[in-house]
Structure 1
Amino acid sequence: MSLPDGYSSLRAEEKLDALWARVSSDPYPENALPTSVPGPWGRRKLFSTAFNRGSFELPGDELPPDRPKLVHTYGTCARVTLKVTAPHPYTGVFAKGGAALLRFSDAKGGGSFAPSIALKFFVNGKPSLNLLTLPTDHREKGDLRCFSSVYCNSTVPAKEFDSKLVQGAFQKAAKALGGTRLYSVYLPLHHLAGMHLDGASADNPVVPDRIEFHPTEEAKRACPDALDFRLSLGRVPAGIKLCDVHVAPKIDQPTQPMGELWLDSTFVASRYGDERLFFAHDVGPTEPVPH
């Protein structure tokens, strides 16, 4: 089920409703969650700059049917709201927050667990703004807990040789598109600071360099340990605070509280969420900026 004609011109809340309807319409049975992921040969395209450009250049919120997810293959989605609760100077989405679609996914699969959190903020009549995060530090081998890590747009470099190659190819793709601030383990936030969800551009954008999502104790208690993260998250009830959100003006400076991320629905793992839902990366600024 694809998105309706005229989707791109809808209001933000209408887009969220339309996308959520598709994500939640075809959930997997709990006893039949898919687990097979592409092997090394299947993932060979990840070493290609040309292929990785698609992560930036593909339009809209849906993947083409012929482009598989070679990483973050399986995930589970929920509706959330970012609430701004502390004063700060940052603009755009950071100024007021708003409703979003969250996808929690496993970047690797196939026996290891490399969790990630992606957020999609919807804009009136304009493309969505996506925020992508990974754990701030290397996780202990065998740690299957969803909320044992802090998630951030700036993370530690990979240890594994193949992951390092993929990160390098991803960075080359951003540079080929003119990006000047995107590194393999840092994703810029300029697009989020430069746009309000009503479609108005932010005057004189003020951009945080770092954002962190700290899972709450309530979320940790509500998320049972399970062999599959989708089952764990499926037990988390709607209406709880998932994370405290912190930001910093520079990548290497301490963060300060900014807001809270609240869960508005239960999590749903579905075929549409895995095969069609798309979170585009932003190339970031194309001119040098101080950092």
Structure 2
Amino acid sequence: MKEISKFWSGAYELPPLPADYESWSASKKQDFLWQERILKSQYDQLPPLEKIDVLGLFVTILSIKMDRLADEAPRKWKKAIHAHGSVAKIKFVPATNSPFTGLFKGADSGLLRLSVTADPADRGFAPGLALKLFVDGKPSENFSALVSLSGQGNNYNFFAHELSNIVSEEKSVGPKLINLIFSRVSKFPRKLYLQGFGQVDQKGNQETNPNYPYRLFLAPNPDLQFPESPPHDFRNDLATIPSGTLLFSVYAVNPQQVGDDAANKVADAVEQSEYRQKAELIGQIVTTSEFVSSFYGDSLLFFRHQRFANR
């Protein structure tokens, strides 16, 4: 490992984020985390993928995941799921005439972490993503998305299926257990809210009349595909993606298309099909760096889950 690995292994204490970090511009925050945290802790050799830490999920204070506004996790924070992934710098490029406000109007500085729930050899290949868009002088906005709670079986192509901030109910034991655990801190554990993205733009300006989607669908670039057959490490696949690559086209369902009852019920397969047909293109997620796997990206880079609420 690199000499810097001594720093990250605990031989030296990682200093906290600078005291004035939150007042920085979006681009300065992105550059600092990328240059001083992620690149300096890049793995020379990828650590093995881990099984889900079920006990760890039970004892984790999940309210921190919902309520913490910082870009860095608390010290000794441990990911019980999605323990290993890769991070790239990204930008959100809005579509013409998108009705949504705030960061949906465009964001030049962001980070995207792509990961799998756990070792695919244990529970199948289950892709997920976490996205962070930086804001001048204010906390970042974050959301996560999954293909489903159970994943896609033995298909190891990370970009085989769309991802969404809302996933359907599943009857198998694993998804039901995950849902039960997250029910401790959210009334709607299979849904994440997007309100914050519509309330503030990348310059930190508050929107007078914020408008944000009920649901997003992230459709992978059809030209960006990897082998389906196992086994191969998705992190090696991601490392081949160059800067400037279109990763996902983002489709959104307008809240006006969703009744109050629907907004408060858990999505099922029928609802998913119905809303996907209503979804309209609102933008694209494009890389502005290569993907990097690092200690910091796996252990301390923090993505908040915003609790779903009735609009």
TM-score (norm 1): 0.86
The 8 Å contact of residues 57 and 181 in structure 2, kept in 1 or not, is answered as: no
Counterpart of 1:178?
none
Q: 1:26 aligns with which of 31, 38, 41?
A: 41
Counterpart of 1:201?
206
* Cα drift, residue 144 of structure 1: 1.1
1:238-253 aligned within 5 A: 238-249=243-254, 250=257, 252-253=274-275
Distance 1:102 1:222, change over 3 A: farther
Distance 1:4 1:193, change over 3 A: same
Please say if 1:3 is aligned against 2:10: no
Counterpart of 1:260?
284
Residue-by-residue CA offset, 1:82-129 (whole Å, 9 max, x unaligned): 101231211111123332100001123362321111110111111110
Please say if 1:272 is aligned against 2:286: no
Distance 1:140 1:151, change over 3 A: closer
The 8 Å contact of residues 79 and 101 in structure 1, kept in 2 or not, is answered as: yes
Please say if 1:71 is aligned against 2:81: yes
* Cα drift, residue 224 of structure 1: 10
Distance 1:20 1:60, change over 3 A: same
Which segment drifts farther, 273-282 or 1-10? 1-10
The 8 Å contact of residues 219 and 242 in structure 1, kept in 2 or not, is answered as: yes
Matches of 1:20 and 1:224, distance apart in 2:
32
Matches of 1:9 and 1:193, distance apart in 2:
20
Which segment drifts farther, 163-172 or 100-109? 163-172
Gapped regions of structure 1 (runs ≥ 5): 176-182
* Cα drift, residue 189 of structure 1: 0.8
1:272-291 aligned within 5 A: 272-285=296-309, 288-289=310-311
The 8 Å contact of residues 222 and 235 in structure 1, kept in 2 or not, is answered as: no
The 8 Å contact of residues 136 and 156 in structure 1, kept in 2 or not, is answered as: yes
Q: Which AA in structure 1 matches 2:295?
A: R
The 8 Å contact of residues 118 and 131 in structure 1, kept in 2 or not, is answered as: yes
Please say if 1:140 is aligned against 2:164: no
* Cα drift, residue 267 of structure 1: 0.4
Which segment drifts farther, 233-242 or 262-271? 233-242
Counterpart of 1:98?
108
Please say if 1:191 is aligned against 2:196: yes
Gapped regions of structure 2 (runs ≥ 5): 1-13, 259-273
Please say if 1:54 is aligned against 2:64: yes
* Cα drift, residue 281 of structure 1: 1.2
* Cα drift, residue 140 of structure 1: 3.5
Matches of 1:139 and 1:165, distance apart in 2:
15
The 8 Å contact of residues 155 and 229 in structure 2, kept in 1 or not, is answered as: no
Counterpart of 1:180?
none
Q: Which AA in structure 2 matches 1:280?
A: R
Residue-by-residue CA offset, 1:125-176 (whole Å, 9 max, x unaligned): 111100211116864311111100101111122443243233233233134x
Aligned CA-pair RMSD = 2.4
Which secondary structure does the structure 2 equivalent of 1:100 belong to? strand
Which secondary structure does the structure 1 equivalent of 2:302 belong to? coil
Q: Percent identity, aligned pairs only?
A: 28
Matches of 1:24 and 1:266, distance apart in 2:
11
Please say if 1:215 is aligned against 2:239: no
Distance 1:3 1:96, change over 3 A: same
The 8 Å contact of residues 91 and 109 in structure 2, kept in 1 or not, is answered as: yes
Matches of 2:40 and 2:170, distance apart in 1:
36
